[in-house]
Amino acid sequence: MKKLRLLFLLVVLTLGGGMGVSALTPPVYSDLDGGHRFYDEILYLAFKGVVKGYPDGTIRPNEEVTRAAAAIMIGRALDLNGEQRATKFSDVGANQVASGYIASAVAEGIIQGYPDGTYRPNETVTRGQMAIFLSRAFDLTVEVDAPFTDISSSMASYPHIKRILAENITQGYPDNTFRPNEKVTRAQFSAFLARALNDEFKVDLPVSYLKDTSNIYQYHTNENGNISFVYADEDYPDWNLWNVNDEFGGSYQVAERQDEEGYKLGAPYSEYRLLLANPVEVGHAWDIEYGDEILASNEITATNLTLTTPAGTFKNVVEVTDQEDLVTYFAPNVGIIKAVRGEETLIEVTRVIVPFVN
């Protein structure tokens, strides 16, 4: 499907851009093949002249993007004046390849220098800076609430991250992070830029099944009566740690995580189970193993359900069924909302307590 999309884009470029029949022959780079995650995006930009290979026949997709390279790519994408010329920065002379694009990008308000009068062209671009560049370059103004746990309103990139999220330019990571300080590669920057230029490459907003750590979740279970999940607010790297209290005075802790594999739940510093595996599509099946033993075989049997519990009505619910006919339902931002076997309800969320904020 992806290669068909690329072919369509190449035809459009050929017919609409007067590029000639030779444009249907894709450029060949020795370090890029069709299996690369951003193969289509890189070739799309290559045909538009936004990215170019090196004299040795490579495209170097894993090379980090510098501030100079970012100015060049954005400048080419927006058809800015790239003629080399003097700039106001002490470290960017007219003899530098990127000088014209840097001057133009600064004039357009896309990129700024530093208070000491430098531009720092060889400094690597971070994901937070990338969000700022693209937000300004494409005049993005619409914002959505960002689910990322590692950004805050005190950050300069905060509104820009929310804007590229609204524009479906980014998804963030499966663990609900954006990683604003992580360095960006040429392939990653190409993907972001291609999404900004062409709707064919846009991504869906991220779906998280992790509980909101600011809320309290109450459940009724057939074994332990009423239980509540309260965020532990303890340092437990890469997992959310919850205190679980039951009506009989018992308490214990569970940890949850969402990553590339999917949504996981387990005991801290012990075993966990992959309860909802990626991709979240009907028919996707996976086993839960312990050593050589298969503890359960799961399959996603429905998506986009609407399910009502005492806590309210949940949409976009995913149904997972195991080999013993245990059916578990997962809702975005809540995780498990109900589990049944036959006519018996084993667990069900009864209330979500959202703290009052003055």
Does 207 fall in a domain? Answer: no
Pick from 201, 228, 259: which residue ends a domain? 201
**Domain count of the chain?**
2
**What is the model's pLDDT at position 117?**
95
- Is the confidence at residue 153, as pLDDT, over 80? yes
134/273 same-domain check: no
Residue 76, domain member (yes or no): no
Q: What is the pLDDT of residue 178?
A: 93
Do residue 149 and residue 286 come from a single domain?
A: no
pLDDT-derived band at 12, boundaries 50, 70, 90: very low
Claim to verify: residue 195 and residue 256 sit in the same structural domain? no
Q: Is the pLDDT of residue 357 over 60?
A: no
Q: Do 136 and 48 reside in the same domain of the chain?
A: yes
295 shares a domain with 149: no
Least Cα distance to 208 among 301, 332, 29, 326 occurs for 332
- Write down which residue in 167, 201, 235 finishes a domain: 201
Same domain, 11 and 38: yes
State pLDDT tens for residues 283-303.
999 987 766 777 778 999 999
Please check whether residues 141 and 282 belong to one and the same domain.
Answer: no
Given a cut of 90, is residue 244 above it in pLDDT?
A: yes
- The answer to whether residue 225 sits within a structural domain is yes
Phi, psi of 231 (to 5 degrees): -60, 130
Task: Clarify whether residues 189 and 257 are in a common domain.
Answer: no
Parent domain of 157: 2-65+124-201
Q: Is residue 10 part of a domain?
A: yes
Q: From start to end of the chain, where are the E strands?
A: 216-221, 225-231, 240-246, 251-258, 262-266, 272-277, 285-290, 293-309, 312-322, 326-331, 335-341, 344-353
Average pLDDT taken over every residue of the chain: 88
**Amino acid residing at 139:** D
